[in-house]
């Protein structure tokens, strides 16, 4: 497994475990996080933290699995397709197939671009 693949898995572990510290171990302080399919662009840890706080407050659990990587082989760019399982507060499950594109510099992601099926669960506002 490449170091970029490992960094992606660490990022998603932080999301699934609701651990912002772990997430920010993978993201540069000036990271740009965009949800391309819904016109959202966030800059830096504070805006990204707010997005995750909203995600976690609206779901009982979030899980990412079934990862399929496409590594550019340049040490900077990697794409991943994966399944998302969102557990809603009433216990019902919502499944999505998403793709993320990551760009890294000096071992941290500087850009995360999300292509999301269905409803936007990663928004700018509460």
Positions in the chain short of pLDDT 70: 118-126
Q: What is the pLDDT of residue 91?
A: 95
pLDDT digits (tens, 9 = 90+) for 47-75: 999 999 988 999 999 999 999 999 999 99
Q: Write down all domains in the chain, each with its CATH number in brackets.
A: 3-115 (3.10.450.50)
Helix or strand (DSSP H, E) at 43: strand 40-43
Map tokens 């960094």 to a residue: 7
At 93, list the tokens.
């499950």
Residue 123: per-residue pLDDT: 59
Helix (H) or strand (E) holding 101: strand 93-105
State the pLDDT at residue 116.
85
pTM of this structure: 0.92
């Amino acid at each position: 497994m490449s170091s970029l693949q490992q960094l992606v898995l660490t990022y998603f572990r932080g999301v699934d475990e609701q651990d912002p510290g772990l997430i920010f171990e993978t993201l540069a302080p000036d990271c740009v996080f965009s949800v391309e399919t819904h016109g959202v662009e966030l800059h830096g840890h504070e805006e990204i933290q707010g997005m995750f706080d909203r995600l976690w407050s609206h779901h009982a659990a979030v899980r990412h699995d079934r990862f399929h990587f496409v590594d550019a082989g340049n040490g900077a760019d990697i794409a991943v397709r994966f399944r998302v399982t969102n557990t809603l507060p009433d216990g019902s499950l919502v499944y999505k197939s998403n793709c993320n594109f990551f760009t890294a510099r000096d071992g941290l992601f500087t850009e995360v671009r999300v292509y999301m099926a269905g409803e936007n669960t990663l928004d700018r506002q509460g």
